Amino acid sequence: MELTQKMFSLILFFIFLPKVILQNQTSDLRIISLLKDNLFQGKWMSKVQSMKQFNYLTLDSGEIQAEFGESFIQLFIQNPKYQEKKHVIAKIQLSNYSESSNTWIEKNDIFLSGGDNLLQTWTESQCNGIFIFQINQESEEFDINELSIDGDLQSTDTNNIHCQINLSFNIKRTYNYAFINNLLFSSIATLILIIQMASTNKLIQQIKQQQIQTLQLSFLAAILSSIQGLNIFYFFVNTLFQNFNYAYFYIIPTFLQLTQAIFKDSSIVGLIWGQRQMLAQLERRALIKQIIYFILISNFFIILNLILYQLYGNSFYFMLTLAFALYPQVIHNVRVGQKNYKFNKLYVLGFLSSKLFFYPYVRSCPANVRNMEPDYLFAGLFLIIYLFSLFLLYIQEKYGSRCFIPKFLLPKPFRYIKEVIVHDSMECPICLNPLNLSPDEMDTKQINKSLLQQIMVTPCKHEFHPQCLQQWIQIQNKCPQCRRDLPPFIENEL
Ligand SMILES: *[C@@H]1O[C@H](CO)[C@@H](O)[C@H](O)[C@H]1NC(C)=O
Ligand SMILES: *[C@@H]1O[C@H](CO)[C@@H](O)[C@H](O)[C@H]1NC(C)=O
Ligand SMILES: *[C@@H]1O[C@H](CO)[C@@H](O)[C@H](O)[C@H]1NC(C)=O
Ligand SMILES: *[C@@H]1O[C@H](CO)[C@@H](O)[C@H](O)[C@H]1NC(C)=O
């Protein structure tokens, strides 16, 4: 019996050995292990009036957050609440805990970095000073919810400009919503991105099978949307780094958006562009030239956009541009003057609008994962601008794409269709078939008769098959023969 007991204790001893050793380590580690994984929050105050703390913060007091790591404390000191304004991150090694006074008195280095607008604008290494953290407990028992921590940071170091420090603070434990916040946002984001990808896939399929008239889709809207797609990808990368403790939540949405931008968005742009080129029936050389121009120009804009995003990515106006995502489609409809414009849900909602959730979210949710200050003017404007474009598209489908343009602004209609006697030798410059045959008929069919036929004649007196010229006009309003501008074509003329 005694032996069994001894054996049992021995086994227990081996199992608990690592823990025993850990508990017996320095008192610093013991107290830190109790404080770790909690968020502390409170106020800081400057001890000297109108002294710019860290030679950077502009007010005499503000908010402070603290977290304990393995053997350090990390402070997040800021002026106003939101991070997009000025903040300083300070990291201090903890190694000199006194159990009798419940205090750390550290005479060593503080590691600083600072920035605003979510950017790290400076990383200044060490400042030497005296840093005191005192744990105040109400009762004898250690209760993390009851204690408060007083801090005192002082430095007279003159090596670095940011070492101008003399402040005190008081912090208490606060509930850390970061986990649930990040989980919620990343789940919604993932859902939206999956819907976006599914509808883009379906759209690509329908375009390939020619179930959708790509002439009805605005090419400009597709390009701008793809560029915004890249911005949403950058947005996720930034969100991932800003919430690095929860980085695993952001791996899937970041990856999804990257795939979307590289493969899906570019497919849509490529397909729409390709079909326009096909209809323009360019020669091989001219087509290759167009492709090279297209690739160069799109790369130029991708790089330009990346630079702009780095500089202004979080600014009011830059973010607001996304609200205009549907306007190129509205303008395209007016320009083409399609009578039978069909509101394409996959394109307008699944492809163009899927990127619109993220900016209003960070600018209107007070506890957003980017820690941005809510700006309800932005959110309101964004919504109004977007909903108005949806409304315009809706009435364009219902009442014709030019229904809201006043009559006197519309160009005078020109009557293209004329009854002309066509004979064998006259051919349509677009399809190169005789004008007295329709473009689909075999050109070997022999007709020697002169026929009175309805064909389209431009103001510059060039003659075309109605089908051919109509398709052409939807791509460009220029005469295929002499490149003169053409008046718009009114479809009910036929
Ligand atoms: C562990 O700490 C206790 C007091 O807290 C001490 O009596 C004991 O000797 C220590 N053991 C080792 C292995 O350091
Ligand atoms: C450690 O703390 C004590 C007081 O608790 C202080 O007198 C001493 O200077 C501190 N040492 C260092 C190296 O900070
Ligand atoms: C910080 O401010 C207090 C109170 O004004 C002052 O007594 C102390 O000397 C200052 N410390 C430093 C390092 O400037
Ligand atoms: C019709 O034209 C073809 C050549 O295009 C010619 O060989 C044929 O003789 C013509 N027939 C008539 C009836 O003119």
The string of DSSP codes covering 17-35 is: HHHHHHHTS-HHHHHHHHH
What pLDDT is stored for residue 10 in this prediction? Answer: 64
Note whether residue 14 is domain-resident: no
Q: How confident is the model at residue 21 (pLDDT cuts 50, 70, 90)?
A: very low
Domain boundary at 174, 198, 224, which? 174
329-345: average pLDDT: 81
| pLDDT for the residue 481 | 81
Same domain (yes/no): 313, 440 = no
Most confident of 417-421, 435-439, 448-452: 417-421
Q: pTM value?
A: 0.68
Position 192 confidence tier, pLDDT thresholds 50, 70, 90: very high
Q: Percentage of residues in the chain with pLDDT exceeding 70? A: 88
Total residues found in the chain within this entry: 494
The average pLDDT across 350-360 equals 93
Ligand 4 site-directed mutation target among 443, 448, 451, most atoms within 8 Å of CB:
448
Residue 261 has pLDDT above 90, yes or no: yes
pLDDT band at 22 (very low <50, low <70, confident <90, very high): very low
Say which CATH number the domain at 423 has.
Answer: 3.30.40.10
Which of the four pLDDT bands, split at 50, 70 and 90, describes residue 198? very high
Mean pLDDT of 361-382: 91
Domain match, 168 and 80 both: yes
Asked if residue 471 and residue 367 are part of one domain, the reply reads no
**Binding site membership of 425 for ligand 4 (Cβ less than 6 Å):** no
For ligand 2, whether the C-beta of 107 sits within 6 Å is: yes
Same-domain status, 141 and 259: no
Task: Provide the mean pLDDT of the chain.
Answer: 85
Same domain, residue pair 395 and 455: no
User: Do 204 and 223 reside in the same domain of the chain?
Assistant: yes
Write the CATH number for 110. Answer: 2.40.128
Domain that holds residue 348: 178-408
In short, whether 446's Cβ falls inside 6 Å of ligand 4 is: yes
Same domain, 126 and 194: no
In terms of domains, do 100 and 46 share one?
yes
What average pLDDT does this structure show over 142-153?
A: 89
191 in helix, strand or coil? helix
Smallest CA separation from ligand 4 atom 14, residue = 448
Same domain assignment for residues 44 and 103: yes
Q: Does residue 331 fall inside a structural domain?
A: yes
Quick check: is 18 in a domain?
A: no
Q: Does ligand 2 have an atom closer than 6 angstroms to the CB of 59?
A: no
- DSSP per-residue codes, 108-129: EEEEEEEEETTEEEEEEEEEEE
Instruction: Out of 119-128, 148-157, 379-388, pick the least confident.
Output: 119-128
Ligand nearest to the CA of 25: 1
Q: Which of 112, 142, 174 is the last residue of a domain?
A: 174
Report residue 426's pLDDT band, with 50, 70 and 90 as the boundaries: confident
Examine the pLDDT at 242 and tell me if it is beyond 50: yes
Within a domain: 22: no
462-466 long-range contacts, CB within 8 A, separation 24+: 462/429, 463/420, 463/422, 463/426, 463/428, 463/435, 464/428, 464/429, 464/430, 464/435, 465/428, 465/430, 465/431, 465/433, 465/435, 465/438, 465/439, 466/416, 466/417, 466/494
Report which of residues 344 and 439 the model is more confident about: 344
Q: Is the pLDDT of residue 353 over 60?
A: yes
Identify the residue whose C-alpha is closest to ligand 2 atom 8: 105
Residue with the larger pLDDT of the pair 184 and 338:
184
Where does ligand 3 bind, in terms of residues with CB under 6 Å?
47-48, 154, 156, 166
Identify whether 20 is part of a domain.
no
Q: Which ligand neighbours the alpha carbon of 28 most closely? A: 2
**Residue at which a domain ends, from 150, 174, 198:** 174
Report CA(43)–ligand 2 centroid distance (Å): 26
Contacts of residue 184, Cβ cutoff 8 Å, sequence gap at least 6: none
In a domain, 1, yes or no: no
Residue 313 has pLDDT above 60, yes or no: yes
216 and 309 co-located in one domain: yes
Q: Report whether pLDDT(494) > 50.
A: no
Is 115 inside a domain boundary? yes
Q: Is 90 exceeded by the pLDDT of residue 15?
A: no
For the cut 70, the answer to whether the pLDDT of residue 288 exceeds it is yes
Question: 55 and 131: one domain?
Answer: yes
**Res. 366 pLDDT band, cuts 50 70 90:** confident
Is 3 part of any domain? no
The pLDDT value recorded for residue 156 is 85
CB 178 within 8 A of CB 38: no
Count of domains for the chain:
3
Q: Is 448 in the pocket of ligand 4 (CB under 6 A)?
A: yes
**Same domain, residue pair 158 and 203:** no
Pocket test for ligand 4, best of 424, 426, 446 (most atoms within 8 A of CB): 446
pLDDT at 486 over 50: yes
